Amino acid sequence: MVQFFFRRFFHVFPAFIGVTLLTFSLIHLIPGDAVELRAGERGIDPVRHAEMKAEMGLDKPLHIQYFRYITNVFKGDLGKSYVTKKPVLEEFLTLFPATLELSLCAMMFAVLFGLPAGVIAGVKRGTPFDHTIMTVSLTGYSMPIFWWGLLMILFFSVFLGWTPVSGRLSALFWIEPQTGFMLIDTLRSDEPGAFKSALSHLILPSIVLGTIPLAVIARMTRSSMLEVLKEDYVRTARAKGLSDRRVILVHALRNALIPVITVIGLQTGVLLAGAILTETIFAWPGVGKWILESIGRRDYPAIQGGILIIATLIIFVNLGVDILYGIINPRIRYTH
Amino acid sequence: MSEMTAIPLENSAPPHPLKEFWKYFSENKGAVVGLYIIVIAIFLAVFADYIAPHSPFDQYRDAILQPPVWMDGGSSKFLLGTDAVGRDILSRLIHGARLSLFVGVIVVTLSLAAGIIFGVTSGYFGGVYEILIMRLMDIILALPSLLLALAIVAILGPSLQNAILSIAVVVLPHYVRLTRASVLSEKNKDYVTASRVCGSGPFRMMFAVLLPNCMAPLIVQATLGFSTAILDAAALGFLGMGAQPPTPEWGAMLANALQFVQSAWWVVTFPGLAILITVLAFNLAGDGLRDALDPKMKR
């Protein structure tokens, strides 16, 4: 097991180096150089230009610059934002809980509805119920979620008036961020109604962000169930006279879950990309919206840092899924 | 005995591949519906200039935010209503079909061509070259597609061309991995060895012997690739990083619809519906293709 763990871990290392190379080259690929970029349209005289270049270390050879970049990355220094002048890591960390809270709720929504839907569709294969679930999930899979979000706002917020249009909390409340998770912070505060407000702000964005993962999980669970239900051990379980419920939930589902867990892990990337769109629509103050705004402001250190952290996160989530996979299924540990 | 000799000879011949393909494909009703929608979309895109009732750019200043024809205040002049500067939404949607399909074609062509070249060569040659290519693809896969596309657009500047280029890069790993995997599974089969013994050179081996036998999964992936391309291009357009106004691109049309959510639902609803229907059609057709082309799935 330990050996398996380390083997996987070293597999991850080249990917991480690759990502740092990518984010490092980002700043060198933009037309013009970083100094001109900061000077803006006003221009800059050549002497000052050279000075600033030396200050920023841009006059050194590329490999030295890269070495310096990666040493700083390991020290947790991702540079300072051109706009706010604050360290990029700090900015990211203040906004990240909002994105994490949204993503977790979206994933919960997706698993809570996707898994049962997939199981039932698989068990009742070929029935109208199965066809409906598959059609709905293919529609969800094809959904432009930025439009889906607008539709949800149109219906639930504007037409029915059930949920707020945007933001994380009603302006009536002011909650000092402690954990950064609005649900926890409002629960711990004494303000009556704050928790309800936070929850109602969270519902629509979670549904919108969870739609594509929901569709993917439902489809995957169904096909995985179909695969497993054909197995001999399921027939044996039935032959033993076990109830349908027990055969499906214990004997079939547990084995069918293995590929589903991988798919859930792979959805992390989908969620973080979807967060960019969802946060933009709902004015959700998270990292997705922040990266998009940084691109709009040409705030390159922020873009670089944001991409690096998100990619690293995804790499490690995939590593975690891989290891989990090995724990659940011993066959995987010993092959390869 | 006499009954056996009566069996006509033609029956023993296998059906034409296309005929067989259609038999399996048409079993899937959803796939056929998807195919019809794609054909209609192509027709609209090709003849947009003749079908669209108005120019997608003409601003009718006396008909700003006019609702669709079936609502109070709608007129048959603008079937799906007008947007905030008085442009006919239906005409913009029809011209948008042209743009979206164009994006799909270019992205799929670019990524398929590059993916085949990288995939076939890395599968065929192997070694350091293969490791290098595959690790590079792993890195691209480690990034959320939209984020990477945004990063590339951030470097190149927002425009439709750059959006197309960035999406092509983002979807590339799927084609490379798929091609490589097929090449690896075909490489050691007898017909390949036979061809090698006959003296085929590497170029012939890769593109004339191996590639045609690796095409089935690639065709499926390419069809599904259309939907990804259209969806991502619309997302970039929506975020202001793709097609720029006043281009009648579906995503870009939605970008400034946000402020009309409360007052004019039709400005918001129709462009998104167009994206959804087109993407769904390609996904349905792609699923059907997979069922029809994959021998393991044949019932």
First to last CA, chain B: 32
Are B23 and B279 contacting, i.e. CB atoms less than 8 angstroms apart? no
Residues contacting residue B28 through CB under 8 Å, at least 6 positions apart? B287, B288, B291, B292
Rounded mean pLDDT, B11-36: 82
- In the numeric block, the tokens 């081996």 are attached to B205
Is the pLDDT at A336 greater than 60? The verdict is no
Tokens of B26: 């048409």
B257–A150 C-beta distance less than 8 A: yes
Q: Please name the member of A22, A30, A138 whose beta carbon is closest to the beta carbon of B284.
A: A138
A276–B147 C-beta distance less than 8 A: yes
Q: What is the pLDDT of residues B178-210, one digit of tens each?
A: 999 889 888 888 998 899 899 888 888 888 888
Between CA B228 and CA B269 the distance in angstroms is: 21
Nearest residue on chain B to A316, alpha-carbon basis? B142
pLDDT of B1 reads: 46
What is residue B53's three-state secondary structure? Answer: coil
A147–B272 C-beta distance less than 8 A: yes
Kindly list the distances between the CA atom of residue B129 and the CA atoms of A8, B114, B133, B276, in Å, as whole numbers in the listed order: 22, 15, 6, 40
In a domain, B87, yes or no: yes
Between A102 and A22, the higher pLDDT residue? A102
Q: Please name the member of B139, B227, B234 whose beta carbon is closest to the beta carbon of A19.
A: B139
Q: Does B93 touch chain A (CB under 8 A)?
A: no
Question: Which of A30-44, A230-244, B70-84, B117-131 reaches the highest mean pLDDT?
Answer: B117-131
Q: Does B270 touch chain A (CB under 8 A)?
A: no
B271–A291 C-beta distance less than 8 A: no
**Sign of the alpha-carbon torsion through A315, A321, A325, A326:** positive
Q: How far is A247 from chain B (nearest CA, A)?
A: 26
Q: What is the CATH number of the domain that holds B225?
A: 1.10.3720.10
Between CA A160 and CA B261 the distance in angstroms is: 13
Measured in whole angstroms, how far is the alpha carbon of residue B45 from the centre of its chain?
15
Q: Please name the member of B154, B235, B240 whose beta carbon is closest to the beta carbon of A144.
A: B235
Domain span including residue B200 = 30-294
Between CA B194 and CA B211 the distance in angstroms is: 16
Q: Does A34 touch chain B (CB under 8 A)?
A: no
Chain B residues with CB under 8 Å of A262 CB are none
| The residue type at A239 | A
Does the model's ipTM exceed the 0.85 cut? no
Angle between helices B145-156 and A253-281 (to 10 degrees): 30
Chain A residues with CB under 8 Å of B257 CB are 150
In a domain, B140, yes or no: yes
Test the A interface: residue of B27, B93, B141, B155 with most A CBs within 10 Å: B155
The CA-based dihedral angle spanning residues A274, A154, B250, A293, taken in that order and rounded to the nearest 10 degrees: -50
Tokens of A72: 């700083």
Chain A residues with CB under 8 Å of B287 CB are 138
DSSP for A259-306, please give it: HHHHHHHHHHHHHHHHHHHHHHHTT--SHHHHHHHHHHTT-HHHHHHH
Q: How far is A1 from chain B (nearest CA, A)?
A: 25
Q: Please name the member of B148, B238, B265 whose beta carbon is closest to the beta carbon of A146.
A: B238
Is the pLDDT at A32 greater than 70? The verdict is no
Q: Does A133 touch chain B (CB under 8 A)?
A: no
pLDDT of A115 reads: 92
Q: What is the pLDDT of residues A233-270, one digit of tens each?
A: 888 888 888 888 888 888 888 888 888 888 888 887 78
**Domain count of chain B?**
1
What is residue A86's three-state secondary structure? Answer: coil
In a domain, B288, yes or no: yes
Task: Kindly report the number of other CB atoms within 10 A of residue B186's CB atom.
Answer: 17
Q: Does A150 touch chain B (CB under 8 A)?
A: yes
Is the pLDDT at A210 greater than 90? The verdict is yes
Q: Does B287 touch chain A (CB under 8 A)?
A: yes
Q: Please name the member of B139, B142, B144 whose beta carbon is closest to the beta carbon of A273.
A: B144
**Does the reported pTM lie above 0.90?**
no
Tokens of A28: 């060198």
Nearest residue on chain A to B278, alpha-carbon basis? A142
A150–B272 C-beta distance less than 8 A: yes
Test the B interface: residue of A148, A295, A310, A314 with most B CBs within 10 Å: A295
* Beta-carbon pairs below 8 A across chains A and B: 130
Q: What is the pLDDT of residues A108-117, one digit of tens each?
A: 999 999 999 9
Q: What is the pLDDT of residues A278-313, one digit of tens each?
A: 998 888 889 999 998 888 887 888 888 998 998 888
Q: How far is A245 from chain B (nearest CA, A)?
A: 28
Between A158 and A148, the higher pLDDT residue? A148
In a domain, B58, yes or no: yes
In a domain, B20, yes or no: no
pLDDT of B240 reads: 86
In a domain, B49, yes or no: yes
pLDDT of A41 reads: 61
Q: How far is A206 from chain B (nearest CA, A)?
A: 18
Q: How far is A63 from chain B (nearest CA, A)?
A: 19
In a domain, B201, yes or no: yes
Are A139 and B272 contacting, i.e. CB atoms less than 8 angstroms apart? no
A303–B261 C-beta distance less than 8 A: no
In a domain, B22, yes or no: no
A295–B150 C-beta distance less than 8 A: yes
The residue count of chain B comes to: 299
pLDDT of B33 reads: 92
% residues pLDDT > 90 (chain A): 18
pLDDT band at B4 (very low <50, low <70, confident <90, very high): low
A142–B139 C-beta distance less than 8 A: no
